[in-house]
Amino acid sequence: MKKTAYALLLAASLTISCNDAFLDRYPLDQISDENFWQTEDHVKSVANTFTASLRGKYWLNMTEAMADSAPWAVTTAFRTIGGGNYATDISQINTIWEESYTYIGRTNYFLHNYQRAVNVSDEVKERFAAEAYFYRAYNYWMLTTYFGDVPYITDVLSVDSPDVYRGRDKRSDIIDAITKDLEDHYRALPEYIEAGSDEFGRVSQTAALALLSRIYLYNERWADAVDAAERAMASTYYTLYSTGNPDVDYKNLFNYTGRASRNANNHETLLAFVYNYSLGEDARTSHNLSREIWVPNDYSRFVPTKSTIESYLTDEGEIWDPSSVSTYEEVFEHRDPRMTQSILQPGSAWEGGVGGDINNDDPKLFTYPLLVNMRSGCMTYSGYYLTKYVEPSTVSSVSHDDNDIIILRYAEVLLNYIEAKEQLGSVTQDDLDRTINKLRDRVGMVHLDLDKLPQGSDLRTEIRRERRVELFFEGHRYFDLIRWKEGARLGEDLLGVKRSWLDQSRLSSSLDDLTWKNVDGEEYLVIETGRTFVDPKHYLLSVPFKQSQLNPNLLPNNPGWN
């Protein structure tokens, strides 16, 4: 029974994700072992199951809740994990493990069977095989980043398979294997997938190179990361999304205006999890992110933190000093333009219901945060709201969003490149100009000058700041802190707005009723205290207790978890 349970955990699943509606499907009730693997539709129908690996909007639930930039507003399992206060039997860690191996099982099933499709051209078969290698690599990238050493399974398992009780393989060996797979097979993919086409959502050569650059970077293979990023940057199709409107282009990349699944001019999104609410009732797919961020009758689910606000430079490229402003409105003035295209600024259009300003009688205009849950507006536990990924037209309805959830985009490739170059000690001004300064040009931000870094800072700090700012709320922050060995930041209290910036006379609720923490003589709104980060324990997640019970060969556990 134990062996059967573990085999099922790793076995392939042919169930097509309900979020794959944008791809062609094959009717599963017509599939049998005898008639399958004969047509291109058969091959494609299995390949269509791979995209569930990307997890869609749930990817943000997992990753952002664990980090310190825009965590889930109230305590959730993933926030608890990020805060270091969890045991080995927490179910969400087991779910990461189980789901990843289920998705790996799908790719293994494909790779062990696709050559049976003798009536399909080799070109088509090898293209979808390359997708299988991509998604297998993606899932092993995730598993090794979370857990370190894990079982490396490439076979289709049955109850009699020796790998059912396989122990953990070295992370470095797994990385060698999956990067070799990607290097060997990515050229079988199309060079690019046209934005706005029916094919959008499939994997391109450039997406595979972007994933390669990410895997190499995460595993400190700096020269390889530079090489993979350079190959991706050589694409004649992919570039940053810009319409010449620096005030909105970055923001629009994440809402309906710029979504690459509909907008043929978005050549930045390399791979996204695609939703389509316009399909029939039985086929439509959607998420609820806009309403969760601006929920008009409850609390905002994801909230920007103090450390996020302070990470944005001034519009002149200098480190921002919180003591230089005295009001809530001034916090948003003269800052890196990506700040107000990511975080809601006073004076912005608003669909979040009643705000916190008793002097504002226009519910369509945001002027001040709502700090208590009155059920008539969107309350914030930090004093700040997101605007990134918000599609205002869908806030009034539950689960009507179908903007793309971006998984890989060209901007990340540029940031992977410059970070790896810095680690090699070989950054030039030309490198900055072709990477970070292109990102800044999109929003009209002053350039980063190698000879005029912000006072009190250094190049590595500024490259990492750029990554935090540009990739804010896209699921990168937790992983970045872990691989930079800056995990101690995850153990710090989560804080929000500075009390002195709020005018009590404009608020219907008392600031005295909220919880504040004194930091260097100033009070900041408390989101969460009692977090911890133990080195080296929390640099890797625990092997899930359930899995160690099913397979004792997974032990010993990661450092600190025994």
Residue-level pLDDT at 33: 62
Q: Please determine, for residue 16, whether its predicted confidence score (pLDDT) is greater than 90.
A: no
Region 535-546: mean pLDDT is: 98
Cα angle 157, 161, 163 (rounded to 5 degrees) comes to 85
Q: Which residues pair with 202 in a beta bridge?
A: 200
Ranges of CATH 1.25.40.390 domains, the chain: 189-284+404-471
Residue 442 pLDDT grade (very low, low, confident, very high; cuts 50, 70, 90): very high
Q: Is 54 left (phi over 0), alpha (psi -120 to 50) or beta?
A: alpha
Region 58-86: mean pLDDT is: 97
Residue pair 511/505 in contact by the 8 Å Cβ criterion: no
Helix (H, G, I), strand (E, B) or coil at 299: strand
Q: Where do the DSSP E strands lie in 326-469?
A: 348-349, 365-366, 405-409
CATH code of the domain occupying 189-284+404-471: 1.25.40.390
DSSP state of 281: T
DSSP state of 153: -
Residue 248 CB coordination number (10 Å): 15
CA distance 445 to 450: 16
CA distance 475 to 154: 27
Cα angle 258, 259, 262 (rounded to 5 degrees) comes to 105
Residue 159 pLDDT grade (very low, low, confident, very high; cuts 50, 70, 90): confident
Helical pair 122-147 and 205-218, crossing angle rounded to 10 deg: 20
Instruction: Quick: pLDDT tens for 447-491.
Output: 999 999 999 999 999 999 999 999 999 999 999 999 999 999 999
Pair of tokens at residue 390:
């918000």
Rounded CA Rg of the chain: 24
Cα angle 360, 364, 365 (rounded to 5 degrees) comes to 50
What rounded mean pLDDT belongs to the chain? 94
Region 264-285: mean pLDDT is: 95
Residue-level pLDDT at 32: 60
CA distance 209 to 182: 8
The H or E element that residue 293 is part of is: helix 289-293
CA distance 71 to 450: 33
The H or E element that residue 183 is part of is: helix 171-185
Residue-level pLDDT at 23: 35
Residue-level pLDDT at 34: 67
Name residues whose C-beta falls within 8 Å of residue 82's C-beta, 6 or more positions apart in sequence: 65, 66, 67, 68, 71, 478, 490, 531
Pair of tokens at residue 160:
């009699």
Residue-level pLDDT at 430: 98
Q: Which amino acid, residue 388?
A: K
> Which of 76, 13, 97 shows the shortest CA–CA distance to 541?
97
Residue pair 315/370 in contact by the 8 Å Cβ criterion: no
Instruction: Quick: pLDDT tens for 82-137.
Output: 999 999 999 999 999 999 999 999 999 999 999 999 999 999 999 999 999 999 99
Cα 99 → chain centroid = 17
To which residue do tokens 């039997």 refer? 89
Residue-level pLDDT at 5: 34
Name residues whose C-beta falls within 8 Å of residue 128's C-beta, 6 or more positions apart in sequence: 43, 44, 46, 47, 110, 114
Q: Please determine, for residue 21, whether its predicted confidence score (pLDDT) is greater than 60.
A: no
* Entry pTM: 0.94
**SS3 letters for 128-163?**
HHHHHHHHHHHHHHHHHHHHCCECCCCCCCCCCCHH
